[in-house]
Amino acid sequence: MKQKILFTILWFIVSRVVSAQDATEIVRRADEKMRGEKSSYSEMTMRIVRPTWERSISFKSWSKGRELSLLYITAPAREKGQAFLKINHDMWSWNPTINRTVKLPPSMLSQGWMGSDFTNDDMLNQRSIVVDYSHSISSEEVIDGFDSWLIVLNPKPNAPVVWGKVELWISKKHFLILKSAYYDEEFSLVKTERASRVKEMDGRLIPTVYEIIPADEPNKKTMVELNSIKFNIDINDNFFSLRNLTQVK
């Protein structure tokens, strides 16, 4: 009897460890599917929808690994030239109108990027979902016709993250993040993101439209459409610098 109980306990511990490892690998593969294993360059259009108005922002984005990213706004004209840089945990913004570079404090990570429902953390913090959270498979569901895992992400101690919990629905076949749910520190749902229009770009099948809807304001939303993307481009670390932040085009 004691041996049976011991075996059960050992099996439970091993299964939890294996599950955690599998979940982390799933998240890593899904993350790299969209960012590239080494680097990426993309061009996107964001549409911010409010009950009485809409506006669009176009931008370019470069990333390398999980620690380097740079984003440059190309339209509209009044915001063209603004740029955002992330190096490791540090983030900066550049505004050519006032000729000023500002370092973003941690308190600004949860603020909406350019007035959208995407936060500064969403747009710049490339390392977050793989490195700063622990992962576990919660269940299996079908999302938009794709058999998927529901994976729960809990922040690691002292991790520089915005969310108290994140849920990801990742397809089993192509490792696509089809749905994400973001919760605050009290585990109240803040917003939901859905990915759609799956198609092949630069040799891999990926979603090309992302829509975020705030939980407490369902009449608002932000959509991002991926116009083009290149994976694993040759790009030097020096590209991600404060000097280039003010010069990139």
Residue 99: which CATH number? Answer: 2.50.20.10
What per-residue confidence (pLDDT) applies to 2?
52
- The tens digit of pLDDT for each residue in 116-129 reads 999 887 887 655 78
Site of tokens 């040759």? 234
Domain count, the chain: 1
pLDDT, tens only, 136-195: 999 999 999 999 999 999 999 988 888 999 999 999 999 999 999 999 999 999 999 999
Confidence band for 18, pLDDT divided at 50, 70 and 90:
very low
Q: Is the pLDDT of residue 135 over 70?
A: yes
pLDDT tens-place string over residues 34-58 = 888 899 999 999 999 999 999 999 9
What pLDDT is recorded for position 107? Answer: 79
Q: Which of these, 138, 129, 127, 168, lies nearest to 20 by C-alpha position?
A: 138
Cα(91)–Cα(110) distance, integer angstroms: 13
Question: For the segment 227-247, what is each residue's pLDDT rounded down to a tens digit?
Answer: 999 999 999 999 999 999 999
Q: Does residue 77 carry a pLDDT above 60?
A: yes
What residue numbers bound the domain in which 39 lies? Answer: 3-245
Q: 194, 210 in Cβ contact below 8 A?
A: yes
Neighbours of 54 (CB within 10 A): 9
Element (H, E) at 244: helix 242-245
The CA-based angle 65-67-69, given to 5 degrees, is: 85
CB 237 within 8 A of CB 64: yes
Whole-prediction pTM value?
Answer: 0.84
Report the SS3 class of residue 176.
Answer: coil
Please give the full DSSP string across 89-107, using - where no structure is assigned.
TEEEEEETTTTEEEEPPGG
Tokens of 70: 């740079």
CA nearest to 131, candidates 113, 151, 156: 156
By CB atoms closer than 10 A (0-12, 13-18, 19+), residue 131 is middle
